[in-house]
Amino acid sequence: QVQLVQSGAEVKKPGASVKVSCKASGYTFTSYGISWVRQAPGQGLEWMGWISAYNGNTNYAQKLQGRVTMTTDTSTSTAYMELRSLRSDDTAVYYCARDSTPYSSSPYWGQGTLVTVSS
C-alpha cells in the first residue's frame, strides 16, 4: 500500500533553515510527484509547491520563491522540502502528498511534521 512517512518534529530559531523528509513506499517513486502543503496552528491549508520525482522539475508558490527548495532522492524514494530564513509565521504542520502532476489531486498524504519557529 502507498505510504508516505515524514520526519519528526523540529524546533528552529528565526533565521534558521529546516529540511523535512518524506519517504515513499508502495509505488514506483519516479512515476509521480510530491506536493508540499502546510497548515499554521488553527489555520487553513496552504499549497507550497510540487516536485516531479521523475525529472526534478519544480513549481513553487510565488510567496515562498527564494526561500524554499524541494528535492528528491530516487535511490531512497525520499522527497525533501527545505525552508530557509525561517520566521515565526512559518510555524506550521508540513505535509507531503503524492500527486501525478502539479495540476492534480492528492489521494495520499504523509502524517505531517510540526515545525516550530521560536526564539
Which residue, 8 or 44, has its beta carbon nearer to another protein?
Answer: 44
Which residue, 54 or 108, has its beta carbon nearer to another protein?
Answer: 108
Minimal distance, residue 90 CB to another protein, in Å: 17
Minimal distance, residue 56 CB to another protein, in Å: 17
- List residues near another protein by CB under 8 A: 35, 37, 44-47, 49, 59, 61-62, 95, 97, 102-107, 109-112
Buried b (16+ CB within 10 A) or exposed e, 45-67: eebbbbbbbeeeebbbeeebeee
Which residue, 103 or 119, has its beta carbon nearer to another protein?
Answer: 103
Minimal distance, residue 95 CB to another protein, in Å: 6
> Would you say 48 and 67 are in contact if contact means Cβ atoms under 8 Å apart?
no
Alpha-carbon distance of 58 to 34, in angstroms, equals 10
Minimal distance, residue 41 CB to another protein, in Å: 12
Which residue, 32 or 110, has its beta carbon nearer to another protein?
Answer: 110
